Amino acid sequence: MADSRRPPPRTVRRVSLGEAVADLGFLAALVVPVVKNEVLLRVVTLGSSLCFFLSSVVPYPNVNWAAIGAQLVLIARGTNLFFRSIAERRLAFSAWEIELYHNLFEDLKLHEFRALLDCGAKTRVAQDGEVLVAEDSLGADFGVLTGGECRVESRGQIVDVLTPGDCFGNELSVAAMQKHPTVATESIIAAGTATYIKWNTDALLQMMAEKVAIRAAIFAIVARDEARRIVHMDWNEVRELKRKWYQPKFLPAVPPEHLPRVIADNLRREDAKRTT
């Protein structure tokens, strides 16, 4: 028979102010990595500040803080998506621009992405066979393919295929952060319906000089495109590059893991010579 005089289980324990602040700090550490807006962070900060107005020993609920932390992470993610959707509507993004943001520029804040679109960006839809960049043309602006595919042709031969996320045009100026007069060595031709975005080179370079986050986002696109070209280079071309740029006595000094990077650097120098 149960003892009727047994006290009910305690649901509140008394802890020191230091323990309370430590627990709030633990919860904040769980929440911070998944929150990109400041609203929930300010709520957590306010909760920590209130502890300093309490006595040195405060009533404290006897609960599973790990479970509460997991729930706060879910709430933070939902809050982040909620405020992002509000910002997308407030900044008047089209459905196509929102898709572009999530595919290529999600590391940017929404107002930075809006600024990137407003600095001379033009979105285009190319039909099958339409020429985006003509071989031997002068001064093509920097562009990024956002949908479909494009053939890369040199002297009538297909040498590469661009897919969404690949860039084209005046990549040299963007990579060097300085405008260079360039002549296209290849043609970019739509293979079916293709969508792309192009920027005025002067406006883009100015924006990249002013905003570090935008500069990093554009550099990331250029770096991915260069890595893709290295991966798809024909082995005969690699062998020819090794023969052309490296004397046998210097080859042992180049670690094998550094060889692709060195080849890429020399490719860039060779492109610069051809386009100046």
Are 20 and 143 members of one domain?
A: no
Does the residue 56 lie in any domain?
Answer: yes
Which token pair is 51?
A: 């502890």
Count Cα neighbours of 70 within 13 Å in the Cβ-side half-sphere: 3
Single pTM value for the model? 0.51
Range of the domain at 221: 98-232
Cα–Cα dist 252/182, whole Å: 35
Place of tokens 């963007």: 174
Are 114 and 214 members of one domain?
A: yes
Cα–Cα dist 190/162, whole Å: 9
Are 167 and 50 members of one domain?
A: no
At 234, which amino acid appears?
D
Which token pair is 103?
A: 């595919």
Q: What are the start-end ranges of the E strands in the chain?
A: 12-16, 57-61, 121-126, 131-133, 142-147, 150-154, 157-162, 167-168, 187-190, 194-199
Assign residue 175 the CATH number of its domain.
Answer: 2.60.120.10
Are 115 and 208 members of one domain?
A: yes
Does the residue 184 lie in any domain?
Answer: yes
Cα–Cα dist 53/264, whole Å: 61
Predicted confidence at residue 150, as pLDDT, reads 92
Residue that terminates a domain, selected from 71, 90, 109: 90
Does the residue 224 lie in any domain?
Answer: yes
Which token pair is 243?
A: 């023969």
Using the 8-state DSSP alphabet, how is residue 129 labeled? T
φ/ψ (deg, to 5) at 134:
-95, 140
Cα–Cα dist 85/168, whole Å: 31
Which token pair is 22?
A: 């430590």
What total number of domains does the chain contain? Answer: 2
Place of tokens 């040199």: 154
Predicted confidence at residue 70, as pLDDT, reads 64
Does the residue 109 lie in any domain?
Answer: yes
Place of tokens 């285009």: 124
Predicted confidence at residue 140, as pLDDT, reads 75
Residue that terminates a domain, selected from 32, 58, 90: 90
- How many CB atoms neighbour CB 195 within 10 A? 16
Does the residue 37 lie in any domain?
Answer: yes
Are 31 and 64 members of one domain?
A: yes
Does the residue 190 lie in any domain?
Answer: yes
Positions of the chain with pLDDT lower than 50, given as ranges? 55-58, 236, 246-252
Closest CA to 241 of 214, 268, 210, 213: 268
Residue that terminates a domain, selected from 64, 90, 116: 90
Does the residue 268 lie in any domain?
Answer: no
Does the residue 32 lie in any domain?
Answer: yes
